[in-house]
Structure 1
Amino acid sequence: MDLSLNDEQLMLADAVRDLFSDSEGDPTAGGDSPEVALEFRRDMWTQGAELGLTALPVAEDYDGAGAGITDIWAATHALGTLCAPEPLTDAAHVPSWIIADLGTAEQKADLLARISVGEAIVPLAHAEAGTGWTSDRTATVTDGALTGTKTAVVVPDAADAFLVTAVADGEPGVFLVAADAAGVTVDVHRNAEWVRTGTVTFEGASAERLGNADAATVTASLRRATALGRIAHGARAVGLMETALKTTVEYLKVRKQFGVTINKFQALTHRAAQMYSDVELARSTSLWATAVAEAFPGTVDTLSAEDLDTLTGTALDAHNFLSGQARTIAQEAIQLHGGIGVTYEAGISHYAAALTGFRQIYGGELEARSAGEAAEAVSTAPSALLDNALIP
């Protein structure tokens, strides 16, 4: 299986790095305290849209790029190598996948075109306190008025509208709610990555249903979007791990103890070598899941139940493996840096925080692992990973 990127994807990754490297507000540069840092960088979002990043999953009919998941992997991986905090996956790609699945022709023409060019930010509002990611929602819609509370909504104070999952007449649906609508309250805070996220409360807010799909199609769309979102986030996590490894190795070469650089200590060299192995396994697993997902393009109505199970199962298996690797790399990077590694001014602390944030997406690590354990079958891993003692 060829897991390498093609020339166009490598060029896309290079363009992303050129744009975001040393950009103003770079979180790894220290500077401002977490309380005032990592504001949503509207200028970088606009420039990213001009580069075509927000348009990647959108069909060409709606001014998009019509790109595949591997193209998205290339872009999000590059963002990860820089620890760029832009929520490209959750504020642009996941909403685009859901709208493409469920929206009416008019909704697609309006929303997808505006998301594609960066004019609209429409994050998914799905998570609820005390409710599992795949459980029935507690938010409800009655006579077009939505009531409920959503947590972990990305950049809620920069959103133009929200895609809100809720129950109407006993059936699940996805609803569009304007961010400035009456009855919408946003409480902004920081997540594990020190990036702005928030709780959004809806109290009788006017809501427009996304299409007229039945419950099975709505559920299938959310499963597909979550699976593709896991793969995109996994790409970013691999990028984070690669830079964390590079930064740690460079630090070992300059930090002195007892008159010599600490890379002379055999135990630390062995730990760095193990980190390299862990990162390579993570990269291969992430690309394997991406390659599997490439076999299932299009919208949810083109997928059979078996295809959807394969896609979601593969994405979940890869995510669970990457979560473990993320924890290991974050811990090792911090420990090999010593006390300086946990300070906000040290760039490595941001990579460790971002890897911690990765483990909390879409219901969190424990829910994802439970879902993986409960699955009827485990996806087939690439041969390089079979019977490998390094896999926990």
Structure 2
Amino acid sequence: MDLSLTDEQRMLADSVRGVFAGADGDPTTGAEAPEGALEFRRDLWNRAAELGVTALVVDEEYGGAGAGVGEAYAAAGALGELAAPEQLTDLAYVPAWLLQDLATGDQKAAWLPPLAAGEKLITLAHAEPGTGWTDPRTTGVTDGRISGEKRAVAAPGDMDAFLVTAVEDGTPGVYLVHAGDGVDVTVHRDAEWAHTGRVTFRDAPAERLGAGTGDADRALRRAVALARVVQGGRAVGLMGTAMDQTAEYLKVRKQFGVTLNSFQVLKHRAAQLYADVELARSTALWAAAMAQTEGLSLEELETAALDSFVFLARQARVVAEESVQLHGGIGVTYETAVSHYAAALTGFRQLYGGELEARGAGVASGALTETPSALLDNALHTYS
């Protein structure tokens, strides 16, 4: 099986790098303090939209490219290589998947074209305080009004609307809620200093996506599984650059009059770091290939996504720790680029309920006939 990107996907990744590489507000330059950096760069978002990056997974009839998971994976991987804070998967692809799976024709016509064009920003609001990712929601809808609190919402202060998971008359659903009256937003930073926050809904007007009774849960599960696969591409991009920066540092940093790459033990650790990154890359590409397999059931998609995510979360921790440690004390400072990659890899481990919930869901899945190795043997590698 060929798990490499196609020529078209590599060209897409190059185009994404051309937009975001070296742009103002680059968090890896260390030129600004955290409080002044990483604002949502709407100008870059618009330029990416002009290239069609935000429209990749939107159907062609709504102004999109009608592309698959592989293209989304390639775009996310390019952003990961740059540690760009733009939450492309959560602000473009997850909303598109949910709208296309759930929305009525009128709802699709109203929201998919501006989403594809980068003119509107929509994000999923699902996580709740004190509630697991897969537990029933406490947010409720009564007479077309929604009330409840959501946490870990991507870039909530910049959104035009939210896709909110809630329960109405005992039935779960996904609701479209406009930013404005009845919607209170508190913005803070996540592990990688990207915008996230808490959103409180107080009798805000809410419009249900579609009218199905059992469709919402399956659509959400599918969107999250695909998002885990695509975010795996971003994680691999982060790991690859962190490894490259670490190798370069070992070549120039001197100790006792010689460069660090002269010490055999550090050579061994760098070699193991390379192996860890390549294992992660192979696993992420396998999950992307699985997600594009024709006739794949939702349960099979979830199994592949969970197995991949758990393994990549383990690799993310190993690569982040080792990259920082091989840089020495400077590796934890904001001015050093590798610290941002380590922080972003930490953020990856917290996505969609986090590593522990994903591991539990993978082990409990009825689709598994035997426990995958990534879930069974998950002890962290110990460097000597």
Alignment TM-score, normalising by the size of structure 1: 0.94
CA contact under 8 A between 2:12 and 2:75: conserved in structure 1?
Answer: yes
Counterpart in 2 of 1:282? 280
Query: Within 2, Cα distance between the matches of 1:312 and 1:327?
Result: 22
Residue of 311, 314, 327 corresponding to 2:304: 314
Query: Within 1, Cα distance between the matches of 2:379 and 2:272?
Result: 9
Mapping for residues 377-392 of structure 1, pairs under 5 Å: 377-378=367-368
Secondary structure, in 3 states, of the residue corresponding to 1:11?
helix
CA contact under 8 A between 1:314 and 1:379: conserved in structure 2?
Answer: no
Aligned-residue offset at 1:376: 3.4
CA contact under 8 A between 2:34 and 2:193: conserved in structure 1?
Answer: yes
Counterpart in 1 of 2:191? 192
Counterpart in 1 of 2:57? 57
CA contact under 8 A between 1:13 and 1:75: conserved in structure 2?
Answer: yes
Counterpart in 2 of 1:329? 319
Aligned-residue offset at 1:178: 0.6
Aligned-residue offset at 1:36: 2.0
CA contact under 8 A between 1:313 and 1:379: conserved in structure 2?
Answer: no
Which residue identity does 1:195 align to in structure 2? A
Query: Within 1, Cα distance between the matches of 2:31 and 2:212?
Result: 48
Query: How far does the alpha carbon of each residue in 1:326-385 deviate from its partner, in whole angstroms, 9 at most, with x for none?
Result: 0000000000001111111100000000000000000011111111222235489999x9
Which residue identity does 1:366 align to in structure 2? L
Query: Within 2, Cα distance between the matches of 1:136 and 1:390?
Result: 31
Gaps of 5+ in 2: none
Query: Within 1, Cα distance between the matches of 2:379 and 2:132?
Result: 31
Counterpart in 1 of 2:347? 357
CA contact under 8 A between 2:299 and 2:367: conserved in structure 1?
Answer: no
- The change in CA–CA distance for 1:381 and 1:59 in structure 2 (over 3 A counts) is farther
**Aligned pairs, how many?**
380
CA contact under 8 A between 2:98 and 2:223: conserved in structure 1?
Answer: yes
Secondary structure, in 3 states, of the residue corresponding to 1:200?
strand
Query: Within 2, Cα distance between the matches of 1:251 and 1:211?
Result: 53
Mapping for residues 142-291 of structure 1, pairs under 5 Å: 142-180=142-180, 182-214=181-213, 216-291=214-289
CA contact under 8 A between 1:288 and 1:382: conserved in structure 2?
Answer: no
Query: Within 1, Cα distance between the matches of 2:85 and 2:100?
Result: 25
- The change in CA–CA distance for 1:364 and 1:13 in structure 2 (over 3 A counts) is same
Counterpart in 1 of 2:103? 103
Query: Within 1, Cα distance between the matches of 2:23 and 2:304?
Result: 35
CA contact under 8 A between 1:262 and 1:268: conserved in structure 2?
Answer: yes
Secondary structure, in 3 states, of the residue corresponding to 2:65?
coil
Query: How far does the alpha carbon of each residue in 1:279-307 deviate from its partner, in whole angstroms, 9 at most, with x for none?
Result: 001000000011011014xxxxxx7xx71
Query: Within 2, Cα distance between the matches of 1:57 and 1:262?
Result: 45
Secondary structure, in 3 states, of the residue corresponding to 2:297?
helix
Q: Percent identity?
A: 60
CA contact under 8 A between 1:129 and 1:151: conserved in structure 2?
Answer: yes
CA contact under 8 A between 1:317 and 1:378: conserved in structure 2?
Answer: no
- The change in CA–CA distance for 1:222 and 1:317 in structure 2 (over 3 A counts) is same
- The change in CA–CA distance for 1:380 and 1:99 in structure 2 (over 3 A counts) is farther
Which residue identity does 1:289 align to in structure 2? A
Query: Within 1, Cα distance between the matches of 2:126 and 2:44?
Result: 26
CA contact under 8 A between 2:363 and 2:371: conserved in structure 1?
Answer: no
1:343 aligns with 2:333: yes
- The change in CA–CA distance for 1:268 and 1:54 in structure 2 (over 3 A counts) is same
Query: Within 2, Cα distance between the matches of 1:16 and 1:258?
Result: 42
Aligned-residue offset at 1:196: 1.1
Aligned-residue offset at 1:84: 0.7
* Range 29-38 or range 282-291, more displaced: 29-38
Which residue identity does 2:178 align to in structure 1? A
Gaps of 5+ in 1: 297-302
CA contact under 8 A between 2:73 and 2:233: conserved in structure 1?
Answer: yes
Query: How far does the alpha carbon of each residue in 1:186-223 deviate from its partner, in whole angstroms, 9 at most, with x for none?
Result: 00001001111110000100111111111x21111011
CA contact under 8 A between 1:156 and 1:186: conserved in structure 2?
Answer: yes
CA contact under 8 A between 2:307 and 2:372: conserved in structure 1?
Answer: no
Runs of 4+ in 1 over 6 A off after TM superposition: 379-383, 387-392
Query: Within 1, Cα distance between the matches of 2:240 and 2:43?
Result: 27
- The change in CA–CA distance for 1:266 and 1:151 in structure 2 (over 3 A counts) is same
CA contact under 8 A between 1:98 and 1:222: conserved in structure 2?
Answer: yes
Which residue identity does 2:251 align to in structure 1? K
- The change in CA–CA distance for 1:391 and 1:282 in structure 2 (over 3 A counts) is farther
Secondary structure, in 3 states, of the residue corresponding to 2:31?
coil
Query: Within 2, Cα distance between the matches of 1:357 and 1:342?
Result: 16
Query: Within 2, Cα distance between the matches of 1:326 and 1:379?
Result: 27
Query: Within 1, Cα distance between the matches of 2:370 and 2:64?
Result: 33
